[in-house]
Amino acid sequence: MLAIAITDHGPALDDSPHKWHFLNLNAIPERVDGLRIFKGIEANIYKDGSIDCDNLMSEKLDFVMAGFHDAVYPPCSDVTKNTDCLMKVINHPSVKIIVHPGNPKFPVDYRAIATEAARNNVALEINSGSAVARKGSSVNCREIIEEVKSAKGYISVGSDAHYCSQMGNFEHALKLLEAQKFPEEKIINSSLMLTSSFLEIKEVLHW
């Protein structure tokens, strides 16, 4: 393992860290025992398309991800409403990744989302944990992969590890991507340099 990303949920969720937690993440070294540490946030999306990560927070972080979470944006079957909301998030200047967009609790127009994400250089996540945590996601993820591939956009592969033994477990996500022959060079965390380039971070080589 060459790198990990720390991305706690944004402060709008009851069990999430305080805003100060994210402001203090820059206290963590860029590298620990040779392991690259990316500091980020999994921001919550509000009903109006805003997120719980302000400019002060985003400026202290390497990157911002955002996604729908039940406690902040209640499950909604209205595809148009969900799509319009996600479009606003994709156009947010700080957001680089949309997390678990295949969640069946929040159906969206995947073609529209993939096209807009590609236009804004925002990656859509294929989340390995969704196979267990969000039943029904796999079918949606296949459609997302096809639409992102067609739009020549980017995919982020996530383990969604909530426990140390799951860190780096991308098995389910990689099977979906391999089955649809998604190009490796369009997977933003297929290499450390591609991750840094996508996040617009200048890496210092460590030999």
Domain ranges, ordered by start, for the chain: 3-198
Q: What angle do CA 168, 170, 173 make, to 5 degrees?
A: 160
Give pTM, 2 decimals: 0.92
CA atoms of 150 and 165, how far apart (whole Å): 34
Domain spanning 3-198 has what CATH number?
3.20.20.140
Tens of pLDDT, residue by residue over 33-42, are: 999 999 999 9
Degrees (nearest 5) of the Cα angle 9, 10, 12?
A: 115
Token couple for 94? 């700080």
Residue 202 main-chain phi, psi, to 5 deg: -85, 115
Q: What is the rounded CA–CA span in Å between residue 146 and residue 137?
A: 14
H-type alpha helices, 46-136: 55-60, 79-90, 110-119, 130-133
Q: Digits of tens for pLDDT over the chain (207 positions)?
A: 899 999 999 999 998 999 999 999 999 999 999 999 999 999 999 999 999 999 999 999 999 999 999 999 999 999 999 999 999 999 999 999 999 999 999 999 999 999 999 999 999 999 876 555 566 678 999 999 999 999 999 999 987 766 565 666 677 888 999 999 999 999 999 999 999 999 998 665 543
How far, CA to CA in Å, does 148 sit from each of 83, 119, 180? Answer: 15, 11, 11
Q: How far is residue 186's CA from residue 109's CA, in Å, rounded to a whole number? A: 21
38-76 per-position pLDDT tens digit: 999 999 999 999 999 999 999 999 999 999 999 999 999
